[in-house]
């Protein structure tokens, strides 16, 4: 579904991605784990058209998307939930969800997806008229995910959905990620929480200072001494 080959991204003189290659097959949950500053968010931004790579290939459903505008990429079926949620604080929950569908014209489909989002996130339904800036961190994460789903993505890019959330809420968010995948959406999940990420993913990549250092099935990486030491707290 998605094939990234030898991707280089620079910020000025600083090279944030160095020849990154990975692939995501339809129906998978893939996770990319790595420490602060390793380049995880940069990769997602390149995939969703927010950053232009200096070199390399990004093929999505058999077509190159390098250089395409971000909104074309959304329309093609890739939705990005950025780090730190970024909901529109002065708009209500309902208005944020409606914005997620702004590129769509199928009113009946939008209504149906809104119903499904509220079914998946009952907390958002209770708070549909509340200003989003007053939601808790976990509720904002749910809203950011719900808004991305309103674009009816084929591929969902999630940037650190567990960041700053209490352990119980992290579990809820990961359960929802599994449900979204079960319902047919392919997921590329960026996480520092390697333990949780490896528990939902089928395959994983480890990124270190802009390079893919390791890859394999989630089970292989869970068993790897290197991963245990660096990302699983030595467990
Ligand atoms: P984190 O988990 O802390 O968000 P990350 O793995 O997502 O980390 P990136 O945000 O992709 O890391 O950053 C990769 C590298 O690029 C870092 O060294 C960072 O300092 C640098 N970088 C990121 N954004 C910019 C920017 N706008 N200008 C310059 N350098 C940047």
Q: What is the DSSP string of 184-232?
A: T-EEEEEES-HHHHHHH-SEEEEEETTEEEEEEEHHHHHH-HHHHHHHS
Interface TM-score (ipTM) > 0.85: yes
In this prediction, residue 4 carries a pLDDT of: 98
In a mutational test of the pocket of ligand 1, which residue from 37, 158, 163, 230 has the highest number of ligand atoms less than 8 Å from its CB?
37
By C-alpha distance, which of 214, 215, 182 is closest to 200? Answer: 182
| Residue with CA nearest ligand 1 atom 11 | 39
pLDDT tens by residue, 174-202: 999 999 999 999 999 999 889 999 999 99
**155 CA to centre of own chain:** 9
Q: Is the CB of 8 under 6 A from ligand 1?
A: no
Distance 40 CA to ligand 1 centre (A): 8
pLDDT at site 38: 95
User: Best mutation site among 15, 39, 188 for ligand 1, i.e. most ligand atoms within 8 A of its Cβ?
Assistant: 39
Q: Is 36 in the pocket of ligand 1 (CB under 6 A)?
A: yes
Domains and CATH numbers, the chain: 2-87+154-231 (3.40.50.300)
Task: Look up the pTM and report it.
Answer: 0.94
At 234 the pLDDT is 63
Starting at the edge strand found earlier in the chain, the sheet holding 14-24 runs 14-24, 2-11, 55-60, 63-64
Nearest to 202 by CA among 216, 183, 185, 223: 216
Nearest residue to 27 via CA among 140, 215, 183, 191:
183
Question: Which residue from 64, 61, 62 is spatially nearest to 53, judged by alpha carbons?
Answer: 64
pLDDT value of residue 100:
94
Of the candidates 175, 166, 167, the one whose C-alpha atom is nearest the C-alpha of residue 145 is 175
Q: Name residues of the chain where pLDDT drops below 50.
A: none
Tell me the CA–centroid distance for residue 41 and ligand 1, in Å: 7
CA of 209 to the centre of ligand 1 (A): 10
């Amino acid at each position: 579904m998605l094939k990234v080959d030898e991707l280089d991204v620079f910020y000025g003189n600083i090279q944030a991605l160095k020849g990154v290659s990975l692939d995501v097959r339809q129906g998978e949950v893939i996770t990319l784990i790595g420490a602060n500053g390793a380049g995880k968010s940069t990769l997602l931004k390149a995939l969703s058209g927010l950053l232009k790579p200096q070199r390399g290939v990004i093929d999505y459903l058999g077509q190159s998307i390098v250089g395409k505008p971000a909104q074309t990429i959304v329309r093609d079926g890739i939705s990005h939930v950025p780090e730190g949620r970024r909901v529109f604080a002065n708009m209500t929950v309902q208005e944020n969800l409606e914005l997620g569908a702004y590129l769509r014209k199928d009113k009946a489909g939008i209504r149906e997806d809104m119903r499904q989002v509220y079914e998946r996130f009952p907390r958002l339904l209770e708070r549909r008229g509340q200003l989003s800036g007053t939601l808790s961190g976990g509720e904002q994460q749910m809203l950011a995910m719900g808004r991305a789903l309103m674009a009816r993505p084929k591929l969902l890019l999630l940037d650190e959905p567990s960041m700053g959330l209490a352990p119980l809420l992290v579990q809820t968010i990961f359960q929802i990620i599994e449900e979204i995948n079960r319902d047919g959406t392919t997921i590329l999940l960026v996480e520092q929480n390697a333990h949780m990420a490896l528990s939902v993913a089928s395959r994983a990549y480890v990124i270190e200072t802009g390079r893919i250092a390791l890859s394999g099935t989630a089970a292989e990486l869970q068993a790897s001494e290197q991963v245990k030491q660096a990302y699983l707290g030595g467990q």
